[in-house]
Structure 1
Amino acid sequence: MLKYLKSSIGRSHVSPLSSRLSIFFLLLVSTQLRLSAQSTFAPLNEDYHNLIERYEIKSGILSNLHTTIKPVRRKELVKLTTELESDEKAKLSKTDRFNLAYLQNDSWEWLDDAKLQQSDSKKPLWQHLFRKKADCYSTQTKDIDFHVSPIFQFAFANDDQLKETPYINTRGIELRGTLNKKLGFYSMLTENQMLYPEYVREYGRQYKANPYEGFTKVPNADSSKYLTDFFSARGYITFQALKNMHIQFGHDKNFIGSGVRSMILSDFSAPYLHLKVTTNVGRFQYMNLFAQMINKQIPVAVDNTEQIPPKYLSLHHLSVNIGRNLNIGIFESIVFGKRQVGFDINYLNPVILLRFVEGHLGSVDNSIAGANFKLNFKRHFSLYGQFVLDEFNIKYFKQDGWWAKKYAAQIGGRYVDVLGIKNLDFQTEYNLVRPYMYSHNSTYSNYVNYNLPLAHPLGANFTELLLIGRYQPTGRLFLNFTAMLAQQGKDSNIVNWGGDILRNYNFARPSEYGNEIGQGRRVNTKFYQLGASYMIAHNLFADLKIQSRNTNLSGNTADAQNLIFSAGLRWNTSQRSFVF
């Protein structure tokens, strides 16, 4: 681990955005007079996503909780679960109550005195360790709330396309808490070695980056095995600048949406430095996200003595809860870079239309906008969707197949307690992205961070259907099935058909008109996954998984097939999802 710290220190430089945001943050802290109790965020992973969505469907949307923006704060999550427990119309099962207790125990610092005892361990170790089910060590006084948890994951697999055995080996620690009930903090540090399955290696070769991660190292320069060895870290601080304004500053990820995928902003790319300002007024929530990302497409010195050039994101999202059933959101964002002054202060304005600013500067940056919605009804159903627009010129938009007719769309639904069977949930989701969506004429402005898409893993020029079933027969046993059917148009080395969002959309584009989804070398992917997880103790899981992936590329006589069996043990971390 020390070698990575030394390497990072040797390459570090103070970025313009880092210094500006740090000054802005210090000014906010110095001017605040009264602060309410602080909360860090719940884990950003698929398991938490599904539980939050399920229990919001069963309870109805709370006026001040906007689960479209993830992660959610632990304080708000505990409020959702405790209110649901007393809702007789929700018809909770024994397994539901187990899950609600699990979520509460994971954030026990926000439980009231009447429920606090449920989070206690039955057998503490040496009187100081594991006193709480969720923490290895914790302490709570009027001045500090502090939690420490170990992170461990070891999993191995059998890939019929490889001689080697893919595996994951992760060790680390997680720290979180609050100071004087005013300043929240979070830090996660892990040391990792991973040998990926063949199809993940192929994805890494295409994008020259590994999914979900940033800086990684290939030991001994042996890229044939695609073994990566990397140090991962996330950390942030939070505070309440005003009664209704919450601020987060640090390195982490965000997710906007209610589905498996996000067309707006997902957690698929590497963590990034950001300042997130969230303002809640009644049923309205307004989020401003100012972020510095990495332009890995610009070459630097081989010995890593040069700083990788930064790129920047400014995003506004307005969300409103209408009654107990409907949430509607609108957003706009700008991706830009290559400024002598670093982050362009024109985009720091939190209440202006970014597209106007971008046009005022000469329309040199990548502006996208769109909307999302979620409709929960009958305490069993949820309908959700997103629409994102990258270019709009009414003169050309109506013409068939204009290349810059760039948009992405999503429609999905959830059905919980299917046909009255408790804790059997079904989800379906359809996503489509037009060719050249998310790409730009500059690597500083494409919708990419550290060579990885900021939205959907497939990039652009595709359609995708997801079918997911989840069943929890008992509190500790989780069964799931996932099917992905996707069709994408791949680029060739010569022709840019609009699938690779890393490419300049003006380079080797074959036609102004007649462009359609799936153009180019068409690849059909069928992905099936069956998994089971058993919770041995709080946040300690044993996992089994079977994956089948079949791809057919036009022009190839034989399909590419992967059959993967995997098993593993993990503690205080989630499974990595490589469904693409």
Structure 2
Amino acid sequence: MALGLLAIPAAQAQDVYVPYDRDTYHLIDRYQIKLGTKVPQLHTNVRPIGRREVAELAEAATGEPRSNADMFNIQYLLNDNWNYTTQANDNSSERPIFNTFYRNKTDLLHYESEDFTLRVNPVLHLELGHDNQSDGMRYVNTRGVQLEGSIDNRFGFYTFIGENQAKFADYVVDRIKRDGVVPHEGLWKDFKGDGYDFLTARGYMNYSLSKHVEIQLGHDRHFIGDGYRSLVYSDYAPPAFFLKLNTRVWKLHYMNLFQELTADYRRRGGGDKILPKKYMAFHRLGVNITDNFNLGLFEQVIFGREKGKFELQYLNPIIFYRSVEHNLGSEDNALLGLDFRWNLFNTAQLYGQLVLDEFVINEVKSGEGWWGNKHAGQVGAKYIDAFGLSNLDLQGEVNIIRPYTYQHRDGSSNYQHNRQPLAHPMGANLYEFVGIARYQPLPRLHLVGKAIATRFGQDEITPEGDTINWGNNVNLDYNLRPRSYGHEIAQGIRTNQLHLDLTATYQFKHNLFVDLKGIIRRTEADASNLSKNSVYTSVALRWNIAQRLHEF
């Protein structure tokens, strides 16, 4: 490989991001916990994370005592981010195809010079499964391409496109019928009766404005926090158009995010029609108070105007949005709060989030259950190499969300995009515990067990077809609530749900995986028609693509 690019100072070189894949990001979390004091500039609370930062983390890990699985993982991260590492690695291929394809271990095609890099890879997801609640086999068939690169060490680009056909498990179909959308996706079509056909596309361009400031423009997902869930901004909803500014200086990471969202999505006949728009302005300041403790403060506002107009005053990157909202005389939907991450003893991490949608201290003190006390909280912990067993990683997390959190008057200001929640995929009005065990007995074999126990309250449908809003579905108007006081978490149709997932993944080649998965779901609701026990088993072949997860 040419070394010209590697000689460019990191402050000047453009950074493309590691696509958000929970398995890959677990490795990043693992080594950040073990080695975070050696790379204190890495802010993991804002995702996706830059390839250069991940390469620096992997380089820091190479000199540490490690298991065979760790050596494999570190080499994987170095190879996957080869164009950003300064270390020599074994990414060169011994047997390129026609002396053109797979000249390295990671990319179908690649090119590198002093001024230009390009990586091109195929995308494939073939999954076949059986669901005890559905007739016939369930499947996912995704084919696509992914490419990324940089120009002049300052301009970066990334694009992904995938064509999909799928027949989902019954519990996923229930969610599609409720909201009228395929989870994680936008426009869709019927496919062979009970199937779905949809296109997935992501892409962005980014540019280094200065040594410490970067601008990014494109369509993608984002994730805020260190937990399995995010109560601030998750990757559940489909990609959205965004403009992002990242400022990294000293111990600070300041992010500004402006997005155009879809206020409502309904499948319509009779030709094309522009979907209604709304917008979000978000900023977060993260501070590494110490090398192992990060604190973030954030604020965001969602708003819609007639004819899709953008409120220019929200473009101010360093103003308190609530003051802008008040001066405009509007009732936009503003949220604020904080998140933290605290690494302990190079083997554990505590993390959490607090979200305030609406908060009146006197109403909280009264204890009368005012509907407007809308807030959410998360606390969690990760334990790396648990009980001294190498590559056994445990995680536990509790999420609590008050009724009506994230809801607003209508689709132009509620906390959803394309009728899908922007934060927790189950909406609000819930208690949840997430437990995850990850074990890597062999370098190429990952075993993951998840238990997600949720108590939540579903909304009611009257015999006349009217909806009684108990605060679970973020798409509903909060004015449909039955009363103003006497609200509690899990009110409405009380439902207890247990989602168990056991997955064995084997990596045959770089980013070529086979998954064996078993899911057991037990849902018990006060309304018998909402109770259901499901068992889903599947086998999947994945190539350069993350697992498709439906954990709601």
Normalising by structure 2, report the TM-score. 0.95
Is the 1:35–1:241 Cα contact (8 Å) retained in structure 2? Answer: no
Aligned to 1:40: 16
Is the 2:458–2:472 Cα contact (8 Å) retained in structure 1? Answer: yes
- Residue 340 (structure 1) shift: 4.3
Is 1:140 aligned with 2:112?
A: yes
Q: Deviations over 1:310-367 (max 9, x none)?
A: 1100000000112221010010000011244611101000000001111111232100
Is 1:60 aligned with 2:36?
A: yes
> Which amino acid counterpart does residue 75 of structure 2 have in structure 1?
A
- Residue 394 (structure 1) shift: 2.8
Give, in whole Å, the separation in 2 of the partners of 1:304 and 1:398. Answer: 53
Give, in whole Å, the separation in 1 of the partners of 2:36 and 2:270. Answer: 54
Say which SS state the counterpart of residue 324 (structure 2) adopts.
helix
- Residue 556 (structure 1) shift: 1.6
Is 1:448 aligned with 2:439?
A: no
Is 1:49 aligned with 2:48?
A: no
Give, in whole Å, the separation in 1 of the partners of 2:151 and 2:493. Answer: 56
Q: Deviations over 1:71-100 (max 9, x none)?
A: 0000111011101222x4xx3212111101
Is 1:70 aligned with 2:47?
A: yes
Off by >6 Å, runs of 4+ in structure 1: none
Give, in whole Å, the separation in 2 of the partners of 1:331 and 1:558. Answer: 37
Would the alpha carbon gap of residues 180 and 446 (structure 1) be closer, same or farther in structure 2, given more than 3 Å must change?
same
* Runs (5+) with no aligned partner, structure 2: 1-9, 462-466
Give, in whole Å, the separation in 2 of the partners of 1:178 and 1:189. Answer: 19
> Which amino acid counterpart does residue 337 of structure 1 have in structure 2?
G
- Residue 147 (structure 1) shift: 0.5
Give, in whole Å, the separation in 1 of the partners of 2:299 and 2:375. Answer: 13
Is 1:232 aligned with 2:205?
A: no
Would the alpha carbon gap of residues 344 and 422 (structure 1) be closer, same or farther in structure 2, given more than 3 Å must change?
same
Aligned to 2:449: 481
- Residue 578 (structure 1) shift: 1.2
Give, in whole Å, the separation in 2 of the partners of 1:571 and 1:533. Answer: 12
Aligned to 2:548: 576
Q: Deviations over 1:25-51 (max 9, x none)?
A: xxxxxxxxx981111100112112211
Give, in whole Å, the separation in 2 of the partners of 1:148 and 1:522. Answer: 49
Give, in whole Å, the separation in 1 of the partners of 2:122 and 2:458. Answer: 42
Aligned to 1:154: 126
Aligned to 1:392: 359
- Residue 558 (structure 1) shift: 8.8
Aligned to 1:278: 246
Aligned to 1:20: none
Give, in whole Å, the separation in 2 of the partners of 1:242 and 1:576. Answer: 37
Is 1:210 aligned with 2:182?
A: yes
Give, in whole Å, the separation in 1 of the partners of 2:300 and 2:386. Answer: 38
Q: Deviations over 1:498-520 (max 9, x none)?
A: 1111111012x122111000110
Say which SS state the counterpart of residue 460 (structure 2) adopts.
coil
Say which SS state the counterpart of residue 178 (structure 2) adopts.
helix
**Aligned equivalent of 2:56, options 42, 67, 79:** 79
Give, in whole Å, the separation in 2 of the partners of 1:363 and 1:256. Answer: 27
Say which SS state the counterpart of residue 163 (structure 2) adopts.
strand
Is 1:177 aligned with 2:149?
A: yes
Aligned to 1:107: 81
Q: Deviations over 1:147-184 (max 9, x none)?
A: 00000110110101111211000000001001121210
Aligned-residue CA RMSD in angstroms? 1.5
Is the 1:300–1:306 Cα contact (8 Å) retained in structure 2? Answer: no
Aligned to 1:336: 303
Alignment of 1:345-494 (within 5 A): 345-400=312-367, 401-493=369-461, 494=467
- Residue 239 (structure 1) shift: 0.8
Is 1:119 aligned with 2:87?
A: no
Give, in whole Å, the separation in 1 of the partners of 2:483 and 2:366. Answer: 13
Would the alpha carbon gap of residues 557 and 66 (structure 1) be closer, same or farther in structure 2, given more than 3 Å must change?
closer
- Residue 68 (structure 1) shift: 0.6
Give, in whole Å, the separation in 2 of the partners of 1:164 and 1:56. Answer: 44
Give, in whole Å, the separation in 1 of the partners of 2:198 and 2:529. Answer: 38
- Residue 396 (structure 1) shift: 2.4
Say which SS state the counterpart of residue 450 (structure 2) adopts.
strand
* More off after superposition, 439-448 vs 56-65: 56-65
> Which amino acid counterpart does residue 26 of structure 2 have in structure 1?
N
Aligned to 2:258: 290
- Residue 474 (structure 1) shift: 1.3
Q: Deviations over 1:383-418 (max 9, x none)?
A: 000000000223323222110000011110000101
* More off after superposition, 36-45 vs 284-293: 36-45
> Which amino acid counterpart does residue 171 of structure 2 have in structure 1?
Y
> Which amino acid counterpart does residue 74 of structure 2 have in structure 1?
L
Aligned to 1:526: 498
Aligned to 1:548: 520
Aligned residues: 536
Is the 2:102–2:108 Cα contact (8 Å) retained in structure 1? Answer: yes
